[in-house]
Amino acid sequence: MELWGARLFGDPCDECGWRWPDDPSASIDSVRRIPELYRGLVEGCSGSEQLPGLGWSVTGYVCHVADNLLSWAGRVAGVLRGGDPHVAGYDPDALGAARGYEHLSLQAALWSLEIGVEAWVPVLTEATSLDVVLLHSTRGEQRAADVAGNNAHDAHHHGWDIARTLREA
């Protein structure tokens, strides 16, 4: 089984300091606030800022978080609606290349982030209340609460990436 979540990153996360909450509603609330947090982080920047060694620019990270939330919302919504609980991962770098992150504006990325959060929050709220279980192809059993925590960490971790990029660029 592939390590993921706190088992991979630590609790708190060894890099960004994120602590995985015991209550999935705390993860959902943190994701709900991501668009506002990111707008504050990127105020006054172009979005093209990038640190050597990081895979994406500021805009790319905003796009990735939006895509990750929307992808997971779709997977979980499918299970909620009676679909197969088996889900597969995806290659975020391949998705970034296919979407052309480097050619999108920061404004487009922020819009995508709002759409991703608007889709994700109600789906994960319902799924965590029903304790939905997904069967991930490489991570094994993932409860909706696990998905909520992992996605919240991803969003906050990449907010940390954006903040340090803007500090150091």
- HEC string of 50-82 equals CCCCCCCCHHHHHHHHHHHHHHHHHHHHHHHCC
Q: What is the pLDDT of residue 93?
A: 96
Are the beta carbons of 68 and 147 closer than 8 angstroms? no
Using DSSP's 3-state secondary structure scheme, residue 140 falls into strand
Are the beta carbons of 56 and 96 closer than 8 angstroms? yes
Domain segments of the chain: what residues?
A: 24-168
Q: What is the pLDDT of residue 21?
A: 95
**In angstroms, how far is the first alpha carbon of the chain from the final one?**
37
Number of helices and strands in the chain (H, E): 7, 3
Tell me the angle at which helices 34-42 and 58-80 cross, rounded to the nearest 10 degrees: 170
Please spell the DSSP secondary structure of 121-134, one letter per residue: HHHHHHHHHTT-EE
Are the beta carbons of 15 and 157 closer than 8 angstroms? yes
- Which among 115, 111, 106, 127 has a CA at the least distance from the CA of 27? 127
Instruction: Name the CATH superfamily for 24-168.
Output: dinb family like domain (1.20.120.450)
Query: What pTM did the predictor assign?
Result: 0.97
Cross-strand bridge partners of residue 136: 87, 140
Q: What is the pLDDT of residue 1?
A: 87
Non-local (6+) Cβ contacts of 55 within 8 A are 93, 96
- Give pLDDT tens digits along the chain (169 positions): 898 999 999 999 999 999 999 999 999 999 999 999 999 999 999 999 999 999 899 999 999 999 999 999 999 999 999 999 999 999 999 999 999 999 999 999 999 999 999 999 999 999 999 999 999 999 999 999 999 999 999 999 999 999 999 999 8
